[in-house]
Amino acid sequence: MSEKASPRREATERREHSRLRALCFPATIILIFWTVAIVLWRRTGMIFFLFDLGYIGASLGTGIAFYTLLPRRKKPIGRRLAQFLVGVYMVGFLGFFVYQNMQLEGLFFYVCTGIFSGAIVHYSIAKLFGPLVFGRGFCGWACWTAMVIDLLPWNRSKGWIAGPWKWLRLVHFALSLGVVAGLVFFLKYRPWGLTPVWWLLVGNLLYYAAAISLAWLLRDNRAFCKYLCPVPVLMKLGSRFALLKVSGAKERCNDCGACVRVCPMDIRIPDYVQAGSRVLSTECILCQTCVSACPTSALVVSFGLDAGFRERLEWRPKSRAKGTPGTDGLVDVGFTVSNRNKARLELRGGQVNAVIQHPVEEPAEPGGVTLTS
């Protein structure tokens, strides 16, 4: 009896050890934020930094911990918890109680008027220098606009739209900067008193209206993030060199396409894996949906030094642009091979191939954030 119990006890101990090891990442996130908070507090004498960064770090760490420990199908709860905790704080508390406009336009106002504010600290950490470490992780885990649109029903996009759509975020960025600069330098406007709250309220309502409308129009929850949101203009600069990226084991990848189908940003993840590189796309928001969906557990989040300048994206078949790199697409044709396996037709380089889709099995070990170096 003891001989039979021993293997079970060892398996239980391995699972517990794996869980504890996986919790090292959220603990590290909390430690980093609290370290920065204490340094800023000691240097400036402002205890606000201790509360502000400490709370954000604890919120992100809690969400990542839940994501790590929950079963695969429930992992999105952890990410949405982090989005909610950070989003309500950034917009609700900082906006309506501290009178800080955390929108991009608020940053432009503070920079143009020479006012040091929490928005400047936030954008410096989360969207300028932070992406050098965690890429566009803010978009996946802490964005208050994504907090809402991730709840919409169109989470299976048909791909990116080629053409002038990709310039909309740049136009939005330039218009926001131009309007604020014009108000400050030519009309001598200053957002004093409760004015930042009105800018925040109206700006957020416009962002939510545009995000929900685009999601409905294009049947894509993250359409706003792909085409219209101006913040990635800043974040993509550093995220190209991010230390944290998704990586894959080429020998374990069967090119089933499960990761591509669930990726909210429509990145052709297997193309990077088969090329022996990490996912170098600056559109990756590090949401780890692909990591959880991979049936062979071939994907992990890893530390590394690399940079990429070629996007491998999934494009809508009718909007394919000639000569555009990474414009392979999926044809919406499927057929049953057996009771357990299905297949799809895949368009690559002008050739149509049948790809077997193996059934997705639950991983033996608990999923979550797995770090390798």
How do strand 351-357 and strand 342-348 relate by DSSP bridges? Answer: antiparallel
SS3 (DSSP) at 34: helix
One digit per residue, the tens of pLDDT, for the chain of length 373 reads 444 556 666 666 666 666 777 788 889 889 989 998 999 899 888 888 899 999 999 999 999 999 988 988 899 999 999 999 999 999 889 888 888 888 999 999 999 999 888 888 889 989 999 999 999 999 999 999 999 999 999 988 899 999 899 899 999 999 999 999 999 999 999 888 888 889 999 999 999 999 999 999 999 999 999 999 999 999 999 999 999 999 999 999 999 999 999 999 999 999 999 999 999 999 999 999 999 999 999 999 999 999 978 899 999 987 554 444 444 444 333 333 333 344 444 444 444 444 444 444 433 333 444 444 4
CA atoms within 13 A on the CB side of 71: 4
Determine the Cα–Cα distance for residues 177 and 173; give it in Å rounded to an integer.
Answer: 6
Contact 367, 292 (CB under 8 A): yes
DSSP for 165-197, written as a single string: GGGHHHHHHHHHHHHHHHHHHTS-----TTHHH
Model's pTM, two decimal places? 0.80
Specify the pLDDT at position 100.
Answer: 86
Contact 65, 78 (CB under 8 A): yes
Specify the pLDDT at position 347.
Answer: 46
Specify the pLDDT at position 17.
Answer: 67
201-205 long-range contacts (CB < 8 A, ≥24 apart) are 201/95, 203/101, 203/103, 203/105, 203/106, 204/91, 204/103, 204/144, 204/145
